[in-house]
Structure 1
């Protein structure tokens, strides 16, 4: 299975985020235009990344929980290859995002934040073509709760991403436990003295854990 590193960019200006992505692009298989960028700058942030990185896979972290068709349409048409939809949201919203993604030949990621195992199992069975993200939110991280980076169900046969507070010291155990395809990493890279070196170290730790 291919190992994908998704560089998560939040709480930057558009130009700061673009520069961080340029600095780390050799280790960033996917680039995430984070929720904070989208909330502060709208689809201009996605358009700017598409112009700067025409060949990169771009994920817009829209965290859609309502108004699915509209949010999917504007993000995909701005250049996003994937968007996120909240698994705790209405079933119809997830259905509509999935339909819009399929119609356009795009990817959709279901964020499992605040979902229980029974809900996750149902989502797993209902949306076999989705990417599923086990996500520890920033607020949870800041209050010492990392339980969302665990799973009570099997994700074998599905595309799995993990996100939230991943560090070089923890990525190995997450790799051995969950065997994710996609690692979504922000601060451990973007706050490092040398972001590219930090990204390279994280990847090596994950690769070593899979060996």
Structure 2
């Protein structure tokens, strides 16, 4: 399992500081939605410049204007871009097409999608499906995982986000997620390096 660090709601300078502290333990840098909304493509460009060898995900949550947004974010330096599963299938197909053009990855965020839509999204077998507990909900990750995996358990590439803590990492591993996305449990901890190191050990990396 890979560890993705979500960095959000800070300045670009602070984001870079946080990433530097966690860098040796993380596999993917996530530039969060609010960070991109606050600072635009500059956030992606500067973090790409600072971390040229890291995989970068830009959490742009595209829901329309797919070609324009995905083209722009890949050109800025992102390796993975996100589209909302609630978007139309046509929009998601455009995201898929642009990702293939740039030889990049794309992630479909299942935030608030219905079981029926989740089944439809299984056609995008070259993408990543992300089971995502909304930030505005404080509990319910395990129930969400169970209900969502009932539809998509056999999908080849799965990620999970929202409310991940050291004490529930064992459940994430059992579910065979490819990527565990962790934010404030690392970024707001007393020691970012120690927290990142702990999560890396729990996902199966080196301590």
Distance in 2 (alpha carbons) for counterparts of 1:149 and 1:8: 19
Unpaired runs of at least 5, structure 1: none
Q: 193-202 or 78-87: which moved more? A: 193-202
- 8 Å contact from structure 2 (residues 3, 199) kept in 1: no
- Residue 126 (structure 2) aligns with: 129
Does the CA-based 8 Å contact 1:113-1:148 persist in structure 2?
no
Alignment partner, residue 201 of structure 1? 198
Contact 1:133–1:161 (CA under 8 A) maintained in structure 2: yes
**In the TM superposition, what are the counterparts of 1:1-80 in structure 2 within 5 Å?**
3-80=1-78
Aligned to 2:177: 180
| Structure 2 equivalent of residue 164 of structure 1 | 162
| Displacement after TM superposition at 1:204 (Å) | 2.2
Q: Provide the aligned C-alpha RMSD in A.
A: 1.4
Return the alpha-carbon distance in structure 1 between the equivalents of residues 185 and 179 of structure 2.
15
Tell me by how many angstroms 1:71 deviates: 0.5
The residue aligned with 2:144 is 148
User: For the Cα contact (< 8 Å) 2:2–2:203, is it kept in 1?
Assistant: no
Residue 63 of structure 1: SS of its match in structure 2?
strand
Query: Which SS does the other structure have where 1:80 is aligned?
Result: coil
Q: Which runs of 5+ in 2 are unaligned?
A: none
Determine the structure 1 residue equivalent to 2:83. Answer: 85
CA distance in structure 2 between the partners assigned to 1:121 and 1:152 by the alignment: 10
Structure showing greater relative contact order (alpha-carbon pairs closer than 8 Å, 6 or more residues apart) = 2
1:99 alignment partner in structure 2: 97
Corresponding residue of 2:135: 138
SS in structure 2 at match of 1:170: helix
Distance 2:137 2:70 in 1: 27
Shift of 1:149: 3.2
TM normalised by structure 2 equals 0.93
Q: What is the distance in 1 between the residues matched to 2:43 and 2:145?
A: 28
Paired residue total:
202
The answer as to whether partners of 2:3 and 2:203 remain within 8 angstroms in 1 is: no
How many Å apart are 1:23 and its aligned residue?
A: 0.6
Structure 1, residues 5-34: CA drift from partner, whole Å, max 9, x if none?
Answer: 111001110000011001100111110010
Deviation, structure 1 residue 175? 1.7
- What is the Cα deviation at residue 157 of structure 1? 4.7
